[in-house]
Structure 1
Amino acid sequence: MTVQLITDGGSDLSRQMCKDWQVKVIPLYIHLDNEQIKSDDVSVIDFAEKTSRSKSFPTTSAAGPFEYYKVFEKVPREKAIIHFSVSDGVSSAYKHAVMAKNMLLEKQPDRNIEIINTESASSGIILLMQETINKITDGLDFHQLLHFIEDRVKHLRTVFILKTLDNLIRSGRLDRIKGTVAKTLNVKLLLQASDEGKIEVLEKVRGTKKATKRFVEKIGEYLSETANQKLVITHAQAKERLDNIVTSIKDKYQFNKIITAEMGPLLSIHAGSEAIVMAFFSDEKRRA
């Protein structure tokens, strides 16, 4: 492959995906009880056990610019680099990766390297990388790939349905007033990645069953034809719930491929257990 794809710990790529796509993953960090844990050093189950024994709420942070630089610098010079970063709206990871890119270009100004602000995470990054792999196979060069990815990011829809808003509120990713109102009135919130890649309320629905139904219906509101499309859906310790939703999606739509994966501990901290996140490309651009 003439292009080296790289991502970070917010992507939730499985080990098999990393192997098949030859992707390098730069871990992000989880902090709990004065311990710093790399996102790829602990499983979701083991981390859940750690948090159950702790009175503290875990926090997350990006790798430092030099950590990104060290990974970029090791890629052979003849290979272009495309790094898919978790959204700039929820993490400093993108800014640190850009700093590392600039460090690399100072020493090796002839390098082809680009940092992609995916404006998403988890399922959204998996979908973008899957489509990029296909285009590399089709023979697109570095600059053609960047043009393609830029367009796909504008069409990318990332929609969330969570069992509870507690973790999202505690981590500061969702307004506390909205979360309190939702919990008080038994209102379930459908969430999405906004134009700035932040998490915003998409729709308020009363009751879990109706919220799940609306979650599936949202696909049809954004996408008129699914037969030639892919959908990626990830879950946080919610395999049974995921399977039920996938069944509903298959009954209603004709996606040519549905990719499923489990969230890593980093995203699970914010989304909470039994969260489901799906990503697909909508007909209309999400932003200009």
Structure 2
Amino acid sequence: MAIRIITDSSIDFPEDMLADLNVTVVPLNLLFGDTEYKAGVDIDTPTFYQKLKQSKELPKSSAPSPQDFLTKFEQSEPEDKILVIALSKSLSTTYENAVLAKQMFHEEQPNRDVEVINSKTASSGLGIIVCHAAEMAQNGESFEDIVRETEEYTEDTLTMFLLDTLENVIKGGRLDRVKGTIASALNIKLLMRASDDGSLEVLDKVRGNKRAIRQFIQKVGEYGHNLEDKVVAIAHSNCEDKAKALMEQIQERYKFKRVVLSTMGPLIGTYAGEGGLLVAFKKN
């Protein structure tokens, strides 16, 4: 018997880590104009950012279908137990489609153990939760304990974003164009987070790059406790040098147990825009 950990491609975590932990990733769909891609399958991250620069309109994303999840369930061994940890239901129908797949699967195999958890986050926040569950599975923990602790992790994981440009959130309709233009002219940076229900909320509006970075780093300490025992995950939107500098400053100040650096994939990268940064960690 094995425990299969399944997630979706909104996760931003190093691919080798996910492979080592035997995590299955179900791709979201990405539409550039009339061309549809399976994120992470038909289009890689460097190509995505290249196309994003060239495109006048933002690409559209859509959730994996229930059939996409069902196919992964059916590929598991008969004795496997399955845990799906999905992108926040406030941002996508991915969670609902995984639940529908569970119902369809139970019509065929009613005695199989399948649980679906709403992570209430995305990107590296989802990565922290998924990898903790996968490590528990590799360590031989019970399915029930993994589900229980994963649910606790979703309530205690903080994901924060710092947007360097407001261009993409304006294009995507998440910020009024007039207000966004004024904010951009004043060099305003948005500091955001995934809220308790998994939606996005603005924490602060800061003028200037250096001040925004300082505020971003300060918020880590305001929200986090006993950070030397925690993993911090940092993701960047095509700005690796900037992310590495942030990583050094955060680690120097807070001494996290481990730091994981990755590139934002299409889902979060589309709205973050060039130069966006993300930090995720377990608060307590």
TM range (shorter): over 0.9
Q: TM-score of the superposition, structure 1-length normalised? A: 0.92
Q: Deviations over 1:54-95 (max 9, x none)?
A: 333211111211111111121112111111111111111111
* 1:17 to partner: Cα distance: 1.8
The 10-residue stretch of structure 1 (194-203 or 258-267) with the greater mean CA deviation from structure 2? 258-267
CA distance in 1, matches of 2:192, 2:218: 14
Return the offset for 1:261. Answer: 1.1
Q: Please tell me the residue identity of whatever aligns with 1:252.
A: R
Contact 2:87 2:118 in 1 (8 A): yes
User: How much has 1:183 moved relative to structure 2?
Assistant: 2.4
Q: Distance in 1 between matches of 2:175 and 2:76?
A: 37
Name the SS for the 1:227 alignment partner.
helix
Mapped partners of 1:253, 1:127: distance in 2? 18
- In the other structure, the counterpart of 1:94 is 95
- How do 1:193-212 residues align onto structure 2 when only pairs under 5 Å count? 193-212=194-213
Q: How many Å separate the matches in 2 of 1:166 and 1:91?
A: 22
**Alignment partners' CA distance in 1, 2:215 and 2:55:** 36
Corresponding residue for residue 119 of structure 2 = 118
Describe the superposition over 1:236-288 as per-residue Cα deviations: whole angstroms up to 9, x where unpaired.
111100111011012101111111111223321121112111111113xxxxx
Counterpart-to-counterpart distance in 2, 1:116 and 1:182:
37
Return the alpha-carbon distance in structure 2 between the equivalents of residues 50 and 117 of structure 1: 30
* Counterpart contact for 1:168–1:270, Cα < 8 Å: yes
Where does the alignment leave 5 or more consecutive residues of structure 2 unmatched? none
Note if 1:51 corresponds to 2:52: yes
Question: What is the match of residue 247 of structure 1?
Answer: 248
Cα 1:69–1:215, aligned 2, differ >3 Å: closer, same or farther?
same
> Could you tell me how far apart the structure 2 residues matched to 1:147 and 1:178 are?
43
> Is the 2:13–2:260 Cα contact (8 Å) retained in structure 1?
no
Segment drifting more, 117-126 vs 260-269: 260-269
How far apart, in 2, do the equivalents of 1:253 and 1:136 lie? Answer: 29
Alignment of 1:107-256 (within 5 A): 107-174=108-175, 179-180=180-181, 182-256=183-257
Which residue of structure 2 lines up, in the alignment, with residue 34 of structure 1? 34
Equivalent-residue separation in structure 1 for 2:110 and 2:102 (angstroms): 10
CA offset at residue 175 of structure 1?
Answer: 5.9
Unaligned stretches of 5+ residues in structure 1: 284-288
Determine if contact 1:189/1:203 at 8 Å carries over to the other structure.
yes
Residues 244 and 68 of structure 1: is their aligned pair in 2 closer, same or farther, counting only changes over 3 Å? same
Q: Which residue in 2 is equivalent to 1:286?
A: none
